[in-house]
A and B are shown apart, each in its own frame.
Chain A
Amino acid sequence: MPWRLLRYAMNPAHPDGRMFSRPEKLRNRYDVVIIGGGGHGLAAAYYLAREHGIRNVCVLEKGYIGGGNTGRNTTIIRSNYITPEGVRFYDESVRLWQDLSEDFDLNLFYATRGHYTLAHSDSAMRTMRLRAEINKHYGIASEVVDREILRRELPMMDLSGGGHAPVLGALYHAPGAIARHDAVAWGYARGADRRGVEIHQQTEVLGLAVRSGKIHAVQTSRGTIETDSVLCAVAGATPRILAMLGLTSPVCVHPLQAMVSEPVKPWLDPIVVSGSLHVYVSQSARGELVLGASLDPYELHSTRSTLDFAEGLSAHILDLFPFLSQIRIVRQWAGMADMTPDFSPIMGKTPIGGFYLDAGWGTWGFKATPVAGKTMAHTIATGREHPLAAGFSLERFRNFALTGEKGAAAVGH
């Protein structure tokens, strides 16, 4: 029993105050306004205050903090991407993640579990090899493993893939991890709040005012705020915010669904992903199996669930783990993923002065939370793009300088 829990038993009253305050009033002006109180927005606020001393910052959240994709994803963290830009960026994120619990004094349950991406075809094996080679080049622990190793490490798995999708091998990525997603938002919120950032929940952005090509004010459901800098970090709502400014981006919003089982005693330590079977699975600290699959194949701004998703995902998980037949699914849900054509994010400046974008996070945003916050804070504070985010500018779509991550991001969130 760690000593720090003693004080809860010793104190007659609960000794902890609010993790983050609920400020009564919006001020008239902030140096930076961040739209979106998810992990990314809160992380940007945290690093603005911590690293750059910019504390006159407010975060505007339409609902409650962490209630969007931060609280809806399947919490997988990894850096085994396929482009050098992606690999370096996500690798820095993994490094930040590893220290985050201690930074926050909040246990994020950041658990390094190892991550297998199964290959069922020789073309998938080629992709796995390429990822392994590029990862190794940048010092990241990824390797291609064969069936024998899989048989030893995951003896319970059906390597025939239900008889119709034999597993040929896998990409094994030892740093693959999971974390408690909600706590990430709370940790950043607490850290930002303590440094003077104001977090305004139930505050909706209704409009953005631009004066001579530069951002000037933010209209909210609770009044207007003047500011020179706005960061938009709203995931699936990105097109709606951009429409307020007449900006366009190649973002298409698709629902991404997931589901979770009843708790069972832990039996699955690593994270297992199969792109061909459209399934990924990990077991949470509570013993639940957290299951996900690929995007819904059409654009839709909705977080509704569909039955065919649950049916398809269930069939595929049983192809790999047939003994789960009687395990029950408790809940399914959905988030809105802002997809880009090259499966890389859009970060940095926009044609509107002072308006910064942190978007296009599709299905890979959670794992990037720390590094996205850190690099966006750098860009806002210094006016210069962070070198790690150089491959992710909005301009790249005009310049055909895409950062193609489809081979590594499509299903293996």
Chain B
Amino acid sequence: MTGERLPPVQGEWIDRETPVCFSFEGKPFSGFSGDTVSSALWASGQKILGRSFKYHRPRGIFSLANHDINAMMQSGGVPNIRADITQIRNGMELFPVNTWGGLSRDRARILDHLSAFLPVGFYYKAFYGKRLFPYWERLFRAMTGLGRVDFSQPRQFTAKEHDFCSIAVVGAGPSGLSAALSAADLGADVVLVDENGHPGGSGHYQRGGDDSQWRTTEALWAKVLAHPRIRTRADTCAAGYYADHWIPLVSGQKMTKLRAGAVIFAMGAFEQPAVFRNNDLPGIMLASAAQRLIYRYAVRPMRNAVVLCGNSDGYRAALDLLAHGIRIAAILDFREADGSGSSRRVQDLGVPVHFGKCIYEAMPTADGKGVAGVRVARFQGGQALAGSGLEEISCDGVAVSVGWAPAANLLYQAGARMLFSTTLQQFVPGAFPQGIFACGRLNGVYGYGDRLQDGASAGQQAAAFLGYGECGPRPRFLEAAGPSHPWPVVPHPSGKNFVDLDEDLQLRDYANAIQEGFDSPELLKRYTTNGMGPSQGKHSSMNALRILAHYTGRAPGETGTTTARPFFHPVPLAILAGRGFHPERHTPMHEEHVALDAVWMRTGEWLRPEYYRSAGLDRAAAIQAEVRSVRQNVGLIDVGTLGKLEVSGPGAAEFLERIYLPRYANLKTGMTRYAVMCDEAGTVLDDGVVARLSGDLFYFTTTSSGAAGLYRELVRLNTLWQLDCTLANLTGAHAAVNLAGPKSREVLGLLADVDLAPASFPYLGVRQGRVAGIPARILRVGFVGEWGYEIHVPSSMGTALWKALLQAGRAFGIRAFGVEAQRILRLEKGHLIVGQDTDGLTTPFEAGLDWAVRMDKPFFVGKRSLQILSRTPPRQRLAGFVLESPLPGAIPEESCLVVQDGSIAGRITSIACSAACGAWVGMAMVDRELAAAGTAIRIRLASGALVRARITALPFYDPGQSRQKEVPCD
């Protein structure tokens, strides 16, 4: 350790009692608990922390404020660790992310010497030959990116919480603390957020060699902590602003979604760099970074400094350096004078101050890995007067203090308008949306005392907005001198004067991009990639605007700005994702299916038995056994996933008349009717069964997948229609089974207290009674083409019903059947499945549902469209087909095409092997001309081979419907 650690500093964040050991590029390092990776390395004399994105130049500490993108680390499987803000932990094994062979011997550093060949947008200007592009692209992809993802990293599930407050204050610097206190004193409940683990913001580290402001800040913090109405959240980033004061607070491994009544933004300002040649050498840093090193981590930023000023803050920083034993070789000030007390004190201490001077270029050390000195030029009229014989000043570091840019990202997101203040030479809030306030440096107020006052006033204003107390106009503060220099930019013929350090963009890149026509802020950003790196322009957008304005002869305020979007600082996917929400629905009989060894199928959120495993049978045979059981004896299927709705009231019949195609006003009590509906375009949307339980009470079912959306749509429709009826969604409240097969009546007869005689309970009837003592609604319907009963009972009784039916059916060879068997059974009957045999454009005329469309009704959804559609014959029809024998080697799958004369003439929507028909049967949506029974069609397999089939009338099985209507005979 070369020992850049200072003696204890008042208020330091490190715990000297707790050393921490870690490694960097395989070499052991140590620091103290509370150190960041950057501060610990710097304290140990390690000044190169990373290599830059494009030219692989060595980079050190620059901001220490979460935008040192060139100091990103990989630790094990975790990439892109930001060294400037990430605390060290014992055992960390850190490697810089963007080197080819280590920091010192990075082989890609040759790119730094090739920069003349790599002008702005160079990758647009070459490498595009069609033949060679893939080669170049591979090379680019090998060079690009930062850290490396590790496929073995586990999914992290993080917590989310919600919080609420009257006023959220973002930023616990002097103005934020003051705002929180004043608002809370007036009675508001306040949440105060700061991204750092310790409060105080710049009040902690910008001391000007004097601890009094820090002490005041600490006292404010103590008051905040003691205040009963202020909750503080440290180490927490307000990552974005969303509508209605909705702010995600990101901390460690958790996101808190905070809804506030009002928000005060007190996030301060980002210090901005000066642009001069080699302004990126390790050792050249923002003055605030030097101050952070000293006061937070007690690390000496440099030993022999040059301070480059464009404002008075630079002199305060110089005093901080001097107070900690750092020699200042010279202070160079872009301006001609500085009237501040700090400036006088610095001069009184004997530090040479050169006004009207700038750094023309920084001189690297012999190994190129540090700064050896600076060459000084006269700065006059916004220009550096370069020439031969420039004065050289030796130094090992430069602290740069030339200006600020408000940390206004969230203000922009909230919709505040920012105006350019020529006095301050930076953007300040112009107009605020309701409930949004700003204070402190973000609000253009820079003096320490002024910031406290501005914060207090913002707190009062926000409290008054919510009805706590009253508030007069906000005080105005006049800055003696602008805190930001209007043009801290020094051109150099050899370039390497960087504006954006994330992206390695030099001054000339901007000039050249503007020359190429990219002369508005957004175009300039997109062409140069300024601000598109991980720090999102925090240190580059302001200078880019100044440069754009300068080269286009405008004022910075006239160019406009780019848009700020979430996030303020990047947020890990795991934090945004939380635990995820994946509801999985089970029917009440789920455990019974488990016991029967069901193979599950996901249908939307539901889990349904696809089929039940059966000893000695493979999948196909097990399904065929289930089918056989229904056709020959009796089967039982859980249909509890069907949508189950009830509509009641004087307007109920009218409601159903409007939503479905058929008539229901004339449906007799105790009877059911098929139901099919369209959307307004006349597309088949859903189907089911409507049962009339009494004059004003209808019970109806929808498809499983359509249930949730349909209920929502029906509620919406009746909100418009205002019919006198009530809609209830009983989908989850009811269990339902279908008991089907020639012996179903005998099985049910053992359990039901309802007269099942065909004369009193005819086909399509509905009865209410008890089955095994359970109150039930029984619908005599025939989806699978056999005598059958759909039995609906309360969910809590579903399992009892299931068990009772299986028990009663045992003597009759009952078998549970799953979705696959049902699909075959219904296909044999030619019953379509909406969404499988129809698609998003299928009309009832195409689907063969013409008979259901009752144009004599005054209105139903889709009627107008169907009237128009009915004038022309449908382009295609749903038709049945049978594969011709001999059967081909491979059976066509659903979605295979029907081809005719080399053109697409349709597609298969369903296909299955029907034991009952002794053939492969299916349905296809085919061109109208092919839809007549007897037509030969050709189906193309995925392999390209053609298979012959013949269009056949539907249904394939029991066309006379005798099995579902007559008394079955054994």
Q: Among residues 897 to 930 in chain B, which have CB atoms less than 8 Å away from a CB atom of chain A?
A: 897, 899, 904, 907
Q: When the two chains form their complex, are residues A129 and B117 in contact, meaning their CB atoms are under 8 A apart? A: no
For A308-346 the 0/1 string (1 means CB < 8 A from B) is 001101111111001111111111110000000110000
CA distance A186 to B120 in the complex (A): 15
Assess whether B851 is interfacial by the CB under 8 Å rule: no
Find the residue from B145, B536, B942 having the highest chain A CB count within 10 A.
B145
> Could you say which of B122, B127, B517 contacts A21, with CB atoms under 8 Å apart?
B517
Q: When the two chains form their complex, are residues B896 and A133 in contact, meaning their CB atoms are under 8 A apart? A: yes
Q: Point out the residues of chain B lying under 8 angstroms from A120, CB to CB.
A: 602
A5-B122, A267-B149, A310-B566 given as contacts; is B681 within 8 A of A162 (CB)?
no
Q: When the two chains form their complex, are residues B897 and A325 in contact, meaning their CB atoms are under 8 A apart? A: no
Q: Point out the residues of chain B lying under 8 angstroms from A322, CB to CB.
A: 153-155
Q: When the two chains form their complex, are residues B123 and A305 in contact, meaning their CB atoms are under 8 A apart? A: no
Of B213-221, B577-585, B742-750, the stretch lying at the interface with chain A is: B577-585
Q: When the two chains form their complex, are residues B128 and A14 in contact, meaning their CB atoms are under 8 A apart? A: no
Of B260-268, B368-376, B834-842, the stretch lying at the interface with chain A is: B834-842
For B663-685 the 0/1 string (1 means CB < 8 A from A) is 00000000000000000011000
Q: Point out the residues of chain A lying under 8 angstroms from B529, CB to CB.
A: 286
CA distance A117 to B520 in the complex (A): 38
Assess whether A402 is interfacial by the CB under 8 Å rule: yes
Of A95-103, A222-230, A238-246, A359-367, the stretch lying at the interface with chain B is: A95-103
CA distance A6 to B243 in the complex (A): 51
Assess whether A219 is interfacial by the CB under 8 Å rule: no
Q: Point out the residues of chain B lying under 8 angstroms from A106, CB to CB.
A: 124-125, 128
Known: A109-B123, A325-B574, A402-B681. 12 other contacts (CB 8 A): A4-B126, A8-B118, A19-B517, A107-B125, A182-B527, A285-B140, A304-B242, A310-B571, A328-B573, A400-B681, A400-B868, A400-B869
Q: Among residues 220 to 277 in chain B, which have CB atoms less than 8 Å away from a CB atom of chain A?
A: 240, 242-243, 246, 248, 257
CA distance A151 to B856 in the complex (A): 56
Q: When the two chains form their complex, are residues B137 and A109 in contact, meaning their CB atoms are under 8 A apart? A: yes
Q: When the two chains form their complex, are residues A331 and B153 in contact, meaning their CB atoms are under 8 A apart? A: no
Which A residue sits closest to B116, measured CB to CB? A9
> Could you say which of A84, A129, A328, A342 contacts B80, with CB atoms under 8 Å apart?
A328
Q: When the two chains form their complex, are residues A126 and B836 in contact, meaning their CB atoms are under 8 A apart? A: yes
Q: When the two chains form their complex, are residues B534 and A318 in contact, meaning their CB atoms are under 8 A apart? A: no
Q: Point out the residues of chain B lying under 8 angstroms from A186, CB to CB.
A: 124, 527
Q: Point out the residues of chain B lying under 8 angstroms from A108, CB to CB.
A: 128
A307, chain B: closest CB distance, angstroms: 5
Some 11 contacts from A to B, beta carbons below 8 A apart, are: A6-B117, A101-B133, A107-B126, A162-B580, A186-B124, A262-B146, A266-B142, A315-B580, A328-B80, A329-B571, A341-B681
Assess whether B19 is interfacial by the CB under 8 Å rule: no
A166, chain B: closest CB distance, angstroms: 8
Of B474-482, B507-515, B635-643, B755-763, the stretch lying at the interface with chain A is: B507-515
Assess whether B423 is interfacial by the CB under 8 Å rule: no
A16-B512, A264-B146, A307-B246 given as contacts; is B904 within 8 A of A402 (CB)?
no
For A104-145 the 0/1 string (1 means CB < 8 A from B) is 011111111000000011110011011011101100000010
Assess whether A164 is interfacial by the CB under 8 Å rule: yes
Q: Point out the residues of chain B lying under 8 angstroms from A14, CB to CB.
A: 119, 508, 511-512, 515-516
CA distance A328 to B576 in the complex (A): 9
B926, chain A: closest CB distance, angstroms: 14
A109-B123, A285-B137 given as contacts; is B128 within 8 A of A263 (CB)?
no
Assess whether B567 is interfacial by the CB under 8 Å rule: yes
Q: Among residues 457 to 516 in chain B, which have CB atoms less than 8 Å away from a CB atom of chain A?
A: 508, 511-512, 515-516
Assess whether B345 is interfacial by the CB under 8 Å rule: no
For B614-643 the 0/1 string (1 means CB < 8 A from A) is 000000000000000000000000000000
Q: Point out the residues of chain A lying under 8 angstroms from B129, CB to CB.
A: 102
Q: When the two chains form their complex, are residues B578 and A315 in contact, meaning their CB atoms are under 8 A apart? A: yes
Q: When the two chains form their complex, are residues B577 and A318 in contact, meaning their CB atoms are under 8 A apart? A: yes
Q: When the two chains form their complex, are residues B566 and A107 in contact, meaning their CB atoms are under 8 A apart? A: no
Q: When the two chains form their complex, are residues A326 and B153 in contact, meaning their CB atoms are under 8 A apart? A: yes
Q: When the two chains form their complex, are residues B145 and A323 in contact, meaning their CB atoms are under 8 A apart? A: no
A143, chain B: closest CB distance, angstroms: 8
Q: Point out the residues of chain A lying under 8 angstroms from B116, CB to CB.
A: 8-9
A164-B582, A262-B146, A264-B149 given as contacts; is B128 within 8 A of A315 (CB)?
no
A201, chain B: closest CB distance, angstroms: 7
Q: When the two chains form their complex, are residues B570 and A329 in contact, meaning their CB atoms are under 8 A apart? A: yes
Assess whether B895 is interfacial by the CB under 8 Å rule: yes
Q: When the two chains form their complex, are residues B574 and A2 in contact, meaning their CB atoms are under 8 A apart? A: no
A127-B895, A129-B896 given as contacts; is B517 within 8 A of A307 (CB)?
no
A1-B114, A183-B124 given as contacts; is B577 within 8 A of A314 (CB)?
yes
Find the residue from B576, B840, B865, B893 having the highest chain A CB count within 10 A.
B576
What total of chain A residues lie within 8 Å of the partner, measured CB to CB? 102
> Could you say which of A63, A180, A263 contacts B145, with CB atoms under 8 Å apart?
A263
Which A residue sits closest to B130, measured CB to CB? A102
Assess whether B11 is interfacial by the CB under 8 Å rule: no
B705, chain A: closest CB distance, angstroms: 8
CA distance A17 to B515 in the complex (A): 6
Q: Among residues 272 to 327 in chain A, which have CB atoms less than 8 Å away from a CB atom of chain B?
A: 285-287, 304-307, 310-311, 313-319, 322-327
Q: Point out the residues of chain B lying under 8 angstroms from A63, CB to CB.
A: 522
Q: When the two chains form their complex, are residues B570 and A107 in contact, meaning their CB atoms are under 8 A apart? A: no
Assess whether B17 is interfacial by the CB under 8 Å rule: no
Assess whether B722 is interfacial by the CB under 8 Å rule: no
Q: Point out the residues of chain A lying under 8 angstroms from B895, CB to CB.
A: 126-127, 129-130, 133
B238, chain A: closest CB distance, angstroms: 12
> Could you say which of B148, B152, B156, B940 contacts A264, with CB atoms under 8 Å apart?
B148
Of A25-33, A64-72, A205-213, A381-389, the stretch lying at the interface with chain B is: A64-72
> Could you say which of B117, B517, B571 contacts A8, with CB atoms under 8 Å apart?
B117
Q: Point out the residues of chain B lying under 8 angstroms from A67, CB to CB.
A: 522
Q: Point out the residues of chain B lying under 8 angstroms from A353, CB to CB.
A: none
Q: When the two chains form their complex, are residues A305 and B126 in contact, meaning their CB atoms are under 8 A apart? A: no
Q: Point out the residues of chain A lying under 8 angstroms from B124, CB to CB.
A: 106-107, 180, 183, 186
Q: Among residues 312 to 356 in chain B, which have CB atoms less than 8 Å away from a CB atom of chain A?
A: none
Assess whether B775 is interfacial by the CB under 8 Å rule: no
Assess whether A406 is interfacial by the CB under 8 Å rule: yes
CA distance A126 to B573 in the complex (A): 32
Q: Among residues 76 to 102 in chain B, which have CB atoms less than 8 Å away from a CB atom of chain A?
A: 77-80
> Could you say which of B80, B147, B149 contacts A323, with CB atoms under 8 Å apart?
B149
Q: When the two chains form their complex, are residues A262 and B534 in contact, meaning their CB atoms are under 8 A apart? A: yes
Assess whether A265 is interfacial by the CB under 8 Å rule: yes
Assess whether B523 is interfacial by the CB under 8 Å rule: yes
Assess whether B212 is interfacial by the CB under 8 Å rule: no
Q: Point out the residues of chain A lying under 8 angstroms from B753, CB to CB.
A: none
Q: Point out the residues of chain B lying under 8 angstroms from A326, CB to CB.
A: 78-79, 153, 156, 572-574
Q: When the two chains form their complex, are residues B156 and A306 in contact, meaning their CB atoms are under 8 A apart? A: no
Q: When the two chains form their complex, are residues A287 and B144 in contact, meaning their CB atoms are under 8 A apart? A: yes
Q: Point out the residues of chain B lying under 8 angstroms from A52, CB to CB.
A: none
Q: When the two chains form their complex, are residues A4 and B125 in contact, meaning their CB atoms are under 8 A apart? A: yes
Assess whether B554 is interfacial by the CB under 8 Å rule: no
CA distance A32 to B865 in the complex (A): 37
Find the residue from B116, B125, B128, B156 having the highest chain A CB count within 10 A.
B128
For A151-173 the 0/1 string (1 means CB < 8 A from B) is 00001100000101110000000
Assess whether B526 is interfacial by the CB under 8 Å rule: yes
CA distance A307 to B241 in the complex (A): 9
For B143-168 the 0/1 string (1 means CB < 8 A from A) is 01111111111111000000000000
